[in-house]
Amino acid sequence: MTDAPATVKLSPAYRLAMAVSTPMIRWWGRLEVTGLDALPPSGPLLLIGNHDSNWDPVAIGWAGTSRRQIKALAKSSLWKFKPLGWVLNGMGQVPVDRGAGDVKALDRAIEELAGGSCIGVFPEGTISRGQALRARSGAGRLALSVPGIQVACVRVTGTVDLVRFPKRPRIRVDFFAPAGGPPQPGETAAAFTLRVMEEIRAEAPHAIPGRKKTAEKYRRALEDA
C-alpha cells in the first residue's frame, strides 16, 4: 500500500492503482520526492509537469499521495480498454481528445477545479521522445478560469529508465511553486504556460523513453528531422 495517511481522501480506485504501482515506482524505481509543501492539502490546485514517459502520471500520483489525489487529463484512447477505463473513472481522470482542442475536457477540468480538486496537466500533450514540443495554452486557460486557484509545478526524471532492465532507474519527483507565481495581470494563457514549462524543463531535459530498440528508433527520428 502507499504511505498516504488516513486523513488524505483518496478514492478506492486511486488507492488500488497506487498500491499496484508501488513495487515498480517506489522499490524498483528508488523514488525520491521533494517539495511536497508546494501541494496544498485542499482547495483548487493546478499541477503542471513535463512528460517524457508513460510512467510519469503514475510516478507523480504516487509521489503526491501523502498530500492529495491528483486528477490528470489523459488521452481518451485509454478508455477504449474497458477495465482500464473503469479504473481511470474511479481515479477521477479526465479524458481528452488530443489535437482537437477539447473544450469538453477543459470544461470538465474547470468544474473539478472549482469544486476544490487538484488537476494535473502535461502542456506538451504527449511524451516528448527526446524532442522539444510546443507547450499548449490549455494549462494557462485553466489557471485563468478559476478564482482562488493555486498553481504548482512538478518535474519528474528517471521514469524513462524504468523498462531498461537490468539498469536500475532512480526516479525523482520535485514539486515546486513557479518562480514567477500564478498568471500575472496582462499575462496571456499561452505566455503563462510557456513560462512555467521553461522553468520545469530547465532541470528536466527532454529524454528518450523505452528499451534499446525503441530508444534507437526515436534517436534516428530526431537525427532525420
pLDDT at position 98: 64
Please count the residues of the chain. Answer: 225
Its domain, for residue 94, covers 12-224
Position 16 in a domain = yes
118-121 and 45-49: which strand pairing?
A: parallel
pTM for the model: 0.91
What is the C-alpha separation between 25 and 59, in angstroms, rounded? 6
Q: Taking the chain, what is the end-to-end CA distance rounded to the nearest angstrom? A: 44
Which CATH number covers residue 197? Answer: 3.40.1130
DSSP letters, the chain, are -----TTS---HHHHHHHHHHHIIIIIITT-EEE-GGGS-SSS-EEEEE--SSTTHHHHHHHHTTTT--EEEEEEGGGGGSHHHHHHHHHHT-EEE-TTS--HHHHHHHHHHHHTT-EEEE-TT-S--TTS--PPPTHHHHHHHHSTT-EEEEEEEESGGGTTSTTSPP--EEEEE--TT-SPPTT--HHHHHHHHHHHHHTTS-----SSHHHHHHHHHHHHH-
Residue 7 lies in a domain: no
Q: Extract the C-alpha cell encoding 223.
A: 537525427
Domains contained in the chain, number: 1
Q: Please, are residues 164 and 53 in contact by the beta-carbon 8 Å criterion?
A: no
| Residue-by-residue pLDDT tens, the chain, 225 positions | 345 444 578 999 999 999 999 999 999 999 999 999 999 999 999 999 999 999 999 999 999 999 999 999 888 888 998 889 999 999 999 888 765 557 888 899 999 999 999 999 999 988 899 988 898 899 999 999 998 999 999 999 999 999 999 999 999 999 999 999 999 999 999 999 999 999 999 999 999 998 888 888 888 888 876
- Looking at residue 30, its pLDDT comes to 97
Residue partners of 99: CB distance under 8 A and separation at least 6: 125
**Is residue 171 included in any domain, yes or no?**
yes
- 6 in a domain, yes or no? no
Query: What pLDDT is recorded for position 118?
Result: 97
In a domain, 104, yes or no: yes
Structural domain contains residue 2 = no
Residues with Cβ < 8 Å from 105, sequence gap 6 or more?
Answer: 73, 94, 95, 96, 97
Instruction: Give the list of residues 6+ apart from residue 133 with CB closer than 8 angstroms, or none.
Output: 124, 125, 126
Q: Domain for residue 5, yes or no?
A: no
Q: How far apart are CA 160 and CA 175, in angstroms?
A: 19
Q: Is 4 within the bounds of a domain?
A: no
